[in-house]
Structure 1
Amino acid sequence: MIKKTAVLILLIFFMNMPIAYGLGEAETFRVAGDIKFPPYEFLDSDGIYKGFNVDLLKAISLVTGMEFEFIPMKWEDAFYSIERGQADIIQGMKESDDRRTRFNFTDSLLLNSQSIFVRDNNYLINNNYNLVGKVVSVQKEDIVYYELSKIKDITIIQYDTMEEAVAALLDGEVEAMVGNTLTVNYICKENNWIDQIKIVGQTLNEQKYSMAVSKNNPQLLRKLNEGLDEIRNNGMYDALHRKWFGTPIKNSSKEMEGQIIMLLFSLFVLLLIILTVQLINRKLNKIIEEKTREEKILINELRNYDKLQFMDKIISSLAHEIRNPLTSIKIYTSQMKNKLENKEFMLAASEDIPEEIDRIDALIKEFMEYTSPRKPQIKVLNLRNELENTIKFIKLQIKDIYVDLQIPEDLYIEFDSSHFKQIVINIILNSKDALVGIENPSIKINGYSDGTNVNIEFADNGCGMDEKSLIYIFEPFYTTKDNGNGVGMFIVKKLVEENGGEIMAKNNENTSGLVVFITVRMGEK
């Protein structure tokens, strides 16, 4: 294990050396996407590019190591971006025979379709034939306009956005609305309209929705498909699908079918329940165990990914700390051959050199403990000592920041030592990014006991976060930084909870900075 860890340290060290050593950076693939197509891909009010497709590629990056540069643009520009040499990947489009002659498509991300939407209290429209003589809203330039135009006596009103078309339905301006099923579902979820409308009839124009690459790049297509397989197997795809598409709008046709089936088989099901309840329980237990195992594997992958992102920073601090005792040892050894008869010198060397070697050994053990993922090993720790030792570990990265420790000498906590170091490093380095350009940057760490627990506050005087972004601070893949990965604070929360603690974050009421609050069990020494 020691040898493997040492090799890992060397590999990481050389990977971060200048290019003169002959090690290049990973290839970055350019990704074109629609600037306004929620929830698939869009720029939000804060100018952050997000959506299901964006998070999907971030997840693929996590499991494959591929790097992606997102280039938001109008859809008509994104469609031609590969042919114009502006992009390597179009992150989402419907497949068609014509498009298959121009692009290679990945395995399907999902099935894209359109549906008929009516108000929840409308029982007169049940399918597309009932649209005869009705007023219907659609989005401008939607392909469904040409399909609806074939229906006799229908009045079609086009709106600039799909949200306006849905709003017209709810305001009673139209009797039905036809649009992209998942997009309308997302719009209704965001505006709390889910319970006010329903889907009727069968879905329309059902097509595969996939990523597109050049016909001349089969290798890129293979890598993307491998990444898709991996995130489907480890559960990340399902989590992202729930995040962006949420609870589907109810489908009245499916509800009716379900009620009929339930009525016909209810007696049969009741009899089966009595006979199979034990079997079901056993199967459920196995499923729960499997899902728990998969979740643990995914969390460990995220932890390792997060560590590799800033391991180079820690290594630079480690090298600096090791250099001091090595210098002392070198001075003694270089003079030793000329002072073999000097008893005072030899006595000092015999005392100081072992101490310096012990210092180096302690630093390496601490680093190895930090890099080894494992279950929490709860111990009683002196809070001030743990904070001081951890801050020394990254002092090169925060040398321009004033760190104010307001921690009593006799305050103890029950926590895993290496987990605590990782939490503190993540929070402080996160604050460091927020302090760029701030005059007199500082981080104040305050600790106090309430008799049962210990409360720890990390407060910086940076720019803080807007309230909309703040609620997602502990969500995976969510970040407001240009070079962020959105994993660090997610890992912090997991580690705190595994050690029996709680964590929250809010903007400082007295300054413009951010405060992270951690509550842990108090220890007794």
Structure 2
Amino acid sequence: MVHRALTGKTHTFGTRFLRFVRALPGTTLLVLFLLLVPLCLAAPADFIPDPAHQAPATVVVGGDRAYPPYEFIDKDGNPAGYNVDLTRAIAEVMGMKVRFVFGNWSEVRAGLQNGSIDILQGLSYSAQRLSSVEFSPPHTIVHHAIFARRDAKPVKSLEELRGKKVLVFQSGIMHERLKQMGFEKDLVLTPTPAEALRLLASGQGDYAVVAQLPGIYLIRELRLTNLVPVAKAVVSEQYCYAVQRGDKELLARFNEGLAIVIKTGQYAQIYNRWLGVNDPPRVTRELALKYGAMILIPLLIVLAVTALWSKTLHKRVAERTTALAQEVAERNKALEELKRHQDKLIQADKMTSLGTLVSGVAHEINNPNGLLLLDIPVLKRVHDDAEEILEAHYREQGDFMLGGVPYSEMRDEIPRILDEMQDGAQRIKRIVNDLKDFARKDMGQKSLIDLDAVARTALRLVDPTIRSSTDHFQSAFHGSLPQILGNGQRIEQVIVNLVLNACQALPNRDCGVFIGTSYDAERGQVLLQVTDQGVGVAQEHLPYLLDPFFTTKRESGGTGLGLSVSAGIVKEHGGALQFQSTPGRGTTVTLSFPVPDRSPLT
């Protein structure tokens, strides 16, 4: 097995940058190239995050040394590709330290089973493999194609390859599928997809079945001009992370990190960089150098002036910050109160910026999701119309292949898949609408609101965190609470903070979280309680929970502003926040708001 330690970002960033710029036209490519070269050279030498936020153990990630553009060893000897960038992004957001181990695929697969490798970053899902590994949700779909020499007879499906010599990547998903179809005696196994295509180009074998994108990529890179894909997307497989059976904790961490990377937009950038752009270069190196030389000197001057200005600005900011800190130390209690208000303004500004970003992303998601909601019912009607014909053919002719899978397996799967797709699209629509409401600019206006409805909206926003933190979440809403006077958006922010804190306090998934609402008619108050079975809060810390910057989660990135901002919002509404906690047994937070009209419920 080939072991290569990850030494830094510099070379891999340069490789990804070169692949990115190959798809850009003309002058745009040149300008971006010269703008980003200094940034590439200045990239940090260490990929792993600040040691203060690292997980205690290094996760060993296995990958194929020759499966571009998904994962491969680049010309500098470093791991590169879509899988590598995605794993690095997940490790960064989850505070994990990872080490890549690349080698022949069969050896890497064996490494997962013998424990020398913790997780595979790219393994196609199959029911047969479930006996030895556990899969994450798919992070992409890999389409497989049939490749042939230009003078070969065209084929349209795997079934047409019977009796032919077929080159296939050993231990890959297509090796397993072709064996299941009875092709084993006609298969020629190769250690890498590149070797399969080389042998096919040299006249050995009749066809090669290789993942479509790696195949096209390798044909271009190896200049195998006599090869073409004769049947694209004959089989489509789910491409996932995989761990040994039973390693649910590591898989859960990667699942959570993958969800975060998708939400932040990093996933889309990584996908487009490696899988979304696969065009041949449009500009020669000589032409790039020619035009680059014409603007290099002015550009370097601009960059130098920018760097000098930035350094001066940072120095002035540092000097001003020091002066302000000295003044704060000498001021009395009134200035401390002013500082707390300033902190709230900073937090509000961050939320405004986040709201603008979320609104833009939500709009971009709604457009393609709207197409899904329109097209999926059409597909369901098409399937319903075709089902009788397919069943008749099945009864008369026996089993046949449909989408690369036997019809006997797909007959029950297709309706389920279409229903899941429609349910998923509807769920996306609801979540996006909730995010848009949560991120909409807050004008500070108050109106009569239903606390139950506000709480339900807040729970939908944090539903992924709840599901990744506990198997025991319960909610109990009053159902007929009197309305309170307030700003629903701000109160929603308070509930989101309380639920997130409860989830973060849980030591494991067996501990639960409860949220409920009630009405205290005697006091004329509407109440909301959030209870967790977490680690609890020490009694000496309870008086300081609402102080700005006080946090017991500093090691995991806590800022101490969440509860402080929430307390300010509650105070503006005439409400109160109360905490009860027992170390080791959990915490209960009670949120109360006055009812404008104390008339009894009807």
Structure 1 length normalisation: TM-score? 0.38
Structure richer in helix, relative to its length? 2
